[in-house]
Each structure stands twice: as C-alpha cells, then as structure tokens.
Amino acid sequence: MPLQHRAIGSLLAIAFLCVSAIACGRSPGRIDNNTVERPGLQQAAAAPDPAVMQQLRSELERVLAQRGIELDDTGQPLRSVSAIPKLVYRQPGWFSDFNGDTALAWAHYQQGDYDLNGEVNISDLTPVGIHLGKTTASPDWLTAAVVADGDGNGEINIADVTPIGQNFAARVSGYMVQAREASGEWHEVGFTPMESGFKSGPGLEMGYFANGGEVEADWRVAPVAGVREFSWNRYALTTQDFQHFDVQGCIVDGRPALVYERYGLTPDTHDGFAIAAVARPQSAADWYLEDDLGHFLYDNSPVAIASVDGKPAIAYVDYSAAPVSFAVMYSRRDSAVAGPAGWSTHQVASLSANPVRLALTVREGRPYIQFNNSGLEAWQANTAQPSGPADWSGYSAAPGFNDFRSPQCIASGPWLFSCGLGVTPAPYLLFNRSTVLAPNGSGSFSDYLLTPVDSAYPPRLMLIAGLPCVVVSDATSSSLQFLQAGSRTSASAASWFQHTIVAQPGSDLHWEPAAALVGGRPAVASGYNELRLYWTGGQFPDNSDQWSSQPVDDSAEPFDRVLLALDGLPLVLELGSASGNSQVVVNIGNEQ
C-alpha cells in the first residue's frame, strides 16, 4: 500500500536535521557530514581489552542471576528469556506546516541498548568495554555518553552493566506516538518501526509524520515491544440485578471511565457511571461506581461519554415526554475524582423520535454531539462548559443522506470525521467529514457511500497518523473489514484501501467489534461465544496476514463492547450476559 511506504519528504528531513543540529550545539542551517559516526565504526576503532570484557561479563552474570538467568559460553541464555521494554515517555522535537502536517523527531532510547539495535543482549557490553573509564572531560565524551552511559552519571564504569542485566532480552519493535490537544487527554496517534531509524551523529534518529487530520498541542513517544501477548484479568463491575445496555467508555485524567444504561428499574430506566481510581484497574475495588445517576432514559436508548476539559461528560436521550417527544441531554460531572461528585444537566435539543444511537466527542475543547434525526444532526457547544440550550448550536451535518444510523465521530482540532450505517439503496457503510474550519450546516460537510456492508453493530472509527480508518463487521461474510482513507480529504470511496481482517462463514467472530490504537497500532476486540483480540505489527495493515489474534474469554456473550488503550495496553469493557440479566464486565490486558 502506497501510504505504508510513504516518503516523509522535506518536512521530516528538515525536522531531523534541525533537532540533531540543535542537540549537538550546531547551527540548524549547516549540517557537518563529518560528524556522522556509526556504532560499528566506533567499536572497530578500539577493540576492548579481553580482560576488561571478562570483568564486565562477570558483572553481567551477577546481575542476571538476580533474575534467575544463566548464560552459555556464547552469551546466550540457557532458557527462553523475555523482557518488556520500560515504558518511558519522552517529548520529541516537532513542528507543523501551514497544512497542519506535523513532523516529529527524537533519538532512540532504550535502557541497556548501547549498540542501538533495539535489543538488549550480550553485545551491549562491547560499547561499555570500549569507553570504560571515560568521563565528561574526555574528548569523545559525546560519543561515549550516548552509547554507554546507562545510568547517566557522566562516567562509564562497571555500574553501566546493570541496565543491561535488568533489561536483558528486551526488544523494542518501535515507538508508540501519543498526542493531546490543549485541554484534552493523551491519546494514541500511531507507530513508527525501529527499522525506520537512521544514524545521525552518535545516535539513532527516529521520526514520525502525521497528516493534517491530527491537530495537537503536545506530543510524546515511548518504546514498545513487538510481540503482543497478554495475560487477561476479567472481573464484573456491576451486579446482575438488572438488565444493562449500551456501555460506552473513554479515558478521563489518564483513567478509564464508563457509562451504561440500566434497564428494569420500575418504572424508569436510568444510567450508571463508573470511573477508575488508578490507571490500570485490576479489580472492581479499583473503581468508583454510581449505579444510578437518576437520569430518565428511554428504554434501550443511547448513552455516550467523553472527557471534556478534564472531567467526565455524558449525552443521553431523555424519555420523560415519550412517545410524543424525546430530548437529547448533556450532563457534566463536577470532578474527575473517583469519589462522590455532583452532575450538572441540561437539555440540548428536542426530537420527535428516538435517535437509537448518538456520539459525543470534543471539538476544539468543546463538546460536540451527533445523532440520527432524518439524517446526521450535529450540536456544537459554544463553550467548554455549556449550561443550557442557549449554549448550543445545531445543524444538519449530512448533505447526502436522510438516514445515518449508529454514528461514530472523532474531532481533531477543527476537523470532524464521522461514519455510520445506511440502508438505502442497500446496506452500506457511510463516511462523512467536515470541509471547512467552522462547520455550520450541510454545506460544510462531504459524505459518501464507502462500501456495501450488512452490519447489526456500529462501525468503529479511528484516526491513524491523522488518516480516518474504520473497522466494521459484515454478517454476509461473517467477517471484520478494515478500511483506511488515502488522505485526510479523500472525496470518494475510490481513494480508500480495504481488506479483510478475518472471515469465517457461519461464525460469530465478527459480533460486537470494538477498535482502538493499542501500542500505536490498530487492534480489534470482537466475538460472541469467544472474545478475541486482533492486532497488527504496524500502523497501516494492508492484508489479513498482518493481523494476529489471541483469545480473551470463551464465555463473553456481550450486548455491547468498548476497547480502550491504557499506556499501550488494552482494556475491553463489555456487557456480559448471564441468567437472563447482564452486567458490566472489565477485561484488562497485562503484557506477558
């Protein structure tokens, strides 16, 4: 696929040169090729003393013994050994051009990886042996520090062997890229593979390019492993006293939060809310649960949740005047703490029919709601903290369709991307995007039929490097489909790429898909009798062979499902059924 091998071009090249030059104290306008050295040349220039290398190996064996690891004569472990790269975030150098395209640049960093090949092993002793005894006063300190000063104390000594032992066998496949808007949450944007790095001076330069669909205020990167094998912890968050519907989740202040419909309260249906007290909740005790917010919902009506200005906010459909009329409501929590807090609630719009599904996102720091009302209808708040209907503006957002079901919406800066399901002229996946910076009506949007699909479940929309991507199930072929736009401004289905993630006729593996970037790469959770997680090794897969999968649970039977990413690891929220009722279930993946 062309985008997979896209040349970053002058924008990224300039970013690399500028960041490298500034880091080395040179003018970014002049690059001295004579300063570029490669680790292999450095090591060949001064072979380490064999006695020194034996001393370093003895120290490494001592550190490895603390992990129960022994080495053979060649320096290979006597048993299978694996380690997870330390999750350490750093801010890259970055800048955007007038189109909003952004180039990032940073130096490869991995504890113990002194030869800069992405793997910590016996060969990382060599740079330590070459530069042993050097300090910041040494003429070639810049080179030595980058490749061998593992503890950062300004001296190369035997203590620099410790990071090798502590991280032995850790492999970095690339870097997860995250971003956030001014008042938003950190979210995953994409992935850059280790093999894309290039030598610049004494280090290894990494880079990333994001299309104009990503309009961010801050960026960060972290090294991640290639093999995505998880151990799963599954537990119930709510009881089975009532039937539950339509669970939705998001990240608030770095922690997962969710909202769900609680059906069966006589005579009303209400919504429940939960927020975790920690970033990676391992049991129900790690959550604060409000099982009844007191909002009046129409039976089997939609709920949605988003982080707005650092606090949870939900949108739902009020049933109090049904079946004469319905109302879209907005409610914002006063605090993001995992404890008691108040909610401020008001009506956004009145409707003559239940929209069945609605989407809530944040556009330029303000809440934005979409739902089906004889077409795609949108309501944008005029402030980050709306307090009543006067703080909202509504308009039609779908110029070409009078039916836009199960909408999913993502905002990036001023830009809006949506997808949904249509039934005319046949079951179809629909795509919609804003075409102006300040959309205010159907003339501000472009929409089109994306692909024929027969799905009973909402499509899932992601932005990868600023490009819209969609995961959707198809009942006819019992498959999961992955679609990627060729550009942020793709004007028709002809400029999209599509492939099958997995297909098994007659199976239920395509039921209730949920999708997100996990470790910077797309992942999908789906299945009825068996919940499975599918993931890829790169950010833009283009065929089914590039997807791997792993079972999560063999008795899921869900009504709804959400996939979230927490520090590059997956968390699946779902409504699991049992004994005629259902409960909110959490599946949290821990890397093995």
CA distance 313 to 561: 19
Name which residue leads in pLDDT, 129 or 295. Answer: 129
Helix (H) or strand (E) segment spanning residue 144: helix 141-148
> Around 492, how many Cα atoms within 13 Å sit in the side-chain half-sphere?
1
pLDDT of residue 14: 43
Tens-place pLDDT, residues 199-210? 887 789 999 998
148 or 14, higher pLDDT: 148
End-to-end CA distance of the chain: 32
- The Cα–Cα gap between 309 and 194 comes to 35
Q: What's the confidence (pLDDT) of residue 539? A: 93
Does position 285 have pLDDT exceeding 50, yes or no?
A: yes
CA-nearest of 401, 348, 343 to 372 is 401
- Show the tokens assigned to 397: 């957002």
* pLDDT tier, 23 (very low <50, low <70, confident <90, very high otherwise): very low
Whether residue 432 is predicted with pLDDT greater than 70 in this model: the reply is yes
pLDDT at 398: 85
pLDDT confidence band for 20 (50 / 70 / 90): very low
- pLDDT grade for 565, boundaries at 50, 70 and 90: very high
Band of the pLDDT at 267, cuts 50, 70, 90?
A: low
Give the model's pLDDT for residue 300: 65
Q: CB burial class (10 A; 0-12, 13-18, 19+) of residue 483? A: buried
pLDDT band for position 471 (50/70/90)? very high
pLDDT of residue 581: 63
For residues 563 and 524, is the Cβ–Cβ distance under 8 A?
A: yes
Does the structure show a pLDDT above 90 at 142? no
Q: Confirm if 356 and 406 have CB atoms less than 8 A apart.
A: yes
pLDDT for residue 583: 83
Residue % of the chain over a pLDDT of 90: 64
Residues 376-428 have pLDDT tens digits of 999 999 999 999 999 999 999 988 888 888 999 999 888 899 999 998 778 99
**Residue range 490-512, pLDDT digits in tens:** 999 999 999 999 999 989 999 99
Statement: residue 83 has pLDDT above 70? yes
The enclosing H or E element of 13 equals helix 9-23
- Residue 12: the pLDDT is 46
pLDDT at residue 19, as a whole number: 42
CB 409 within 8 A of CB 418: yes
Nearest Cα neighbor of 257 from 229, 233, 293, 301 is 293
d(CA 323, CA 156): 76
Mean pLDDT of all residues in 85-111: 89
More confident residue, 479 or 268: 479
* Pairing verdict, β 467-474 and 460-464: antiparallel
For CA atoms 50, 55, 60, 61, the dihedral sign is: positive
User: CB neighbours (10 Å) of residue 54?
Assistant: 11
Domain range annotation of the chain: 2-224, 230-591
Task: Say yes or no to pLDDT of 239 above 80.
Answer: no
On average, the pLDDT of the chain sits at 86
What's the average model confidence in pLDDT over 439-449?
A: 91
> Parallel, antiparallel, or unpaired for β 460-464 and 445-452?
unpaired
How much is the pLDDT for 475?
A: 93
Residues in CB range of 279: below 8 A, 6 or more apart: 254, 255, 566, 567
Q: Is the pLDDT of residue 16 over 50?
A: no
Cα radius of gyration rounded to whole Å, the chain: 26
Segment 304-336, tens digit of pLDDT: 999 999 999 999 988 766 566 788 999 999 999
pLDDT of 248 > 80? The answer is: yes
- Residue 9 C-alpha from the chain's centroid: 26
Interval 38-80: pLDDT, tens: 344 344 456 789 999 999 999 999 999 999 999 999 999 999 8
Element (H, E) at 57: helix 50-65
Better pLDDT: 355 or 499: 499
The top-level CATH class assigned to 230-591 is: mainly beta
∠355-360-362 over CA atoms, to 5°?
150
489's torsion region: left (phi>0), alpha (psi -120 to 50) or beta?
alpha
CA atoms within 13 A on the CB side of 515: 27
Q: State the average pLDDT over residues 343-359.
A: 89
What integer pLDDT is reported at residue 491 of this predicted model? 93
Q: Tell me what the mean pLDDT of segment 453-479 comes to.
A: 95
pLDDT of residue 292: 84
The pLDDT score that the predictor gives to residue 541 is 96
Of 271, 260, 292, 297, nearest to 583 by C-alpha is 260
pLDDT value, residue 297: 77
